[in-house]
Structure 1
Amino acid sequence: MTIELDHAIVSARDKVASARQLAELLGVPWAPTALGPFSAVYVNEGLTLDFIDTDEDFPVQHFCFRVSPEEFDAILARIQAAGIPYRSTVRGPMDGKVDTQFGGKGVYWNEPEGHQWEMLTVSYARQAG
């Protein structure tokens, strides 16, 4: 069997608001209450992000979504329509620009809990092969 990531738990102060926002931006289904204490975002057929409420301190997490060029344009349009600032670099000011240095498109934005989302069309983490 190939090893696949099935789910990840994302800490939040308001799991429902965080899950709803991400699901709406990505255009994927979500459930305000899933099994147990989670609000789930069904990223694709094999990956769920389970948001969980906590009042404890938690580190900012980074998740990157690789999408098609068409999906990129649709998601970026939803980010812009929601008035969410975004940037072309992992750190730095919200410049409202799209990164194109790896032969595709990429942007970064932060959600209200502080977690950082990245969206790209060409992976720089893995070489084509």
Structure 2
Amino acid sequence: MDARLDHLVCWVADQLASLRFYEQVVGLPGVRAEEFREGKAGFPSVRVSPETILDLMAYESARGVDEGTGVKGSGGHPINHFCLAVSREDFDALQVRLKQHGVEVTGSGTNSFGAQGIAPEAIYFPDPDGNVLEVRYYE
């Protein structure tokens, strides 16, 4: 099987604030952002890669997720963290943006294993809702 990650869903309290964070601080482009702002889309997303997006879902919509998935209690569960792999240049630029926006780097690591092997450096930080992001680069 050749599978690819299509999307992740993050539960957020304020979709517009989260959209701004992921666009302005993390540097990911919005998807359906204008449609969401105009009330034409139920949630905004941000593009992680050509094949993967991150959906920013409001906590209050978690109740309806049970119906869609068919699994009782499946809505609103947090994950430990998700990891974005970027270039070294983007990694350095992200750290500057985090500092500019007052976002604390809460953890770091070196030589950690991931999908592409060993990453020399990684940082961890929360989004506005406490979802934890890890960002790393590979050489």
* TM tier, smaller: 0.7 to 0.9
Which one has the bigger helix percentage? 2
Task: Please tell me whether residue 99 in structure 1 is matched to residue 109 in structure 2.
Answer: yes
Give the length in aligned residue pairs: 114
Structure 1, gaps ≥5 residues long: 89-97, 124-129
Asked whether the equivalents of residues 99 and 105 of structure 1 are also in contact (C-alpha less than 8 Å), the reply is yes
* Matched residue, 1:54: 59
Rg comparison, structure with higher value = 2
Question: 2:129 is matched with which residue: 104, 110, 113?
Answer: 113
Measure the CA separation in 1 of the matches of 2:122 and 2:100.
Answer: 18
Which one has the bigger strand percentage? 2
Deviation >6 Å, runs of 4+ = none
After superposition, the C-alpha distances for 1:22-60 in whole angstroms (9 at most, x for unaligned) are 122232211252974111101121111111112368333
TM-score, normalised to structure 2's length?
A: 0.70
Q: Quick one: percent identity of the two aligned structures?
A: 28
TM-score, normalised to structure 1's length?
A: 0.75
Q: CA RMSD in A?
A: 2.5
